[in-house]
Amino acid sequence: METQLTGPWRIAPDVVLVPVIEPAAAGYAHVNSMVITGREPVIVDTGAAEHRERWTEDVFSVVEPRDVRWIFLSHDDPDHAGNLEVALEMCPDATLVTGSPPRPGRGFVPPPGRTRRIADDESFDAGDRRLTAVRPPLYDAPATRGLYDDRSGVYWAADCFGAGTPVATADAGDLPMEDYLEAVRAFGAGLSPWHRWLDPRIFGRHVDRLAAMEIIAIASAHGPTATGDRVARVIGAVRGLAGRSDPG
């Protein structure tokens, strides 16, 4: 199978996607993270523990651990928080920003004095940019927050906009448009089964919020990154999921 874009990829001047793409039952599965390399560098999600060696190598080829000021955790699932402790240890000046409360038995203990809770729609200042927590329309943990960077226009969608890919690539532009959109629909339908019960008008408001933002790229933990005209098209694909399946 042809291998395409699989290493750290600068998707905007100060934003680097850190992909981990592995063969799956059908095609390839993604467990991605991201680094914002601005004045106050931010690690966005920390991947899975099983990828620790590669993850630390790739992330810290992009940013020096001592320079990292923020670690944004979209939610505390192990494929996002898997290297959180290591990252906090390696980056002594980083503050953890997350909407996820500590949950007993999850192994996720926000370090005292180094954690800032963030509500949906709340922003924080990262030196040369304002980062805003924007909950994606589809998620598998209610405390999930995506992250919008107003300077680059990149939106980190956490689990939303995931998609299995027939080739190992981090760039949705390598896939035919319709194949990509259908893969996003299929992933989203499995991710948030409750989308079936949602009133399309209510669900639509969450999608409208994204559609109204100036987004140049949507990066997902579990799929290739959408840029260019794929941004609006993939938001439209997710919008179409509301009410698509029968309740029950």
- Cβ distance to Fe ion smaller for residue 141 or 216: 141
SS3 content of the chain, % helix, strand, coil (to 5): 30, 25, 45
Which residues are CB-neighbours of 23 under 8 A, at least 6 positions away?
A: 29, 168
Write out the residues near Fe ion by the rule CB under 5 A.
77, 79, 140, 159, 221
- Cβ distance to Fe ion smaller for residue 27 or 200: 27
Least separation in angstroms between residue 93's CB and Fe ion is 27
Least separation in angstroms between residue 195's CB and Fe ion is 15
Residue 127 has φ and ψ, to the nearest 5°, of 85, -80
For the purposes of burial, counting CB atoms within 10 Å of the CB of 117, is it exposed (0-12), middle (13-18) or buried (19 or more)? Answer: middle
Distance CA 196, CA 186 (A): 13
For the purposes of burial, counting CB atoms within 10 Å of the CB of 35, is it exposed (0-12), middle (13-18) or buried (19 or more)? Answer: buried
DSSP 150: T
- Cβ distance to Fe ion smaller for residue 14 or 159: 159
Which residues are CB-neighbours of 19 under 8 A, at least 6 positions away?
A: 5, 6, 7, 8, 9, 30, 32, 170
- Cβ distance to Fe ion smaller for residue 51 or 69: 51
- Cβ distance to Fe ion smaller for residue 58 or 159: 159
Least separation in angstroms between residue 78's CB and Fe ion is 9
Least separation in angstroms between residue 106's CB and Fe ion is 12
The CB-nearest residue to Fe ion is 77
Least separation in angstroms between residue 158's CB and Fe ion is 7
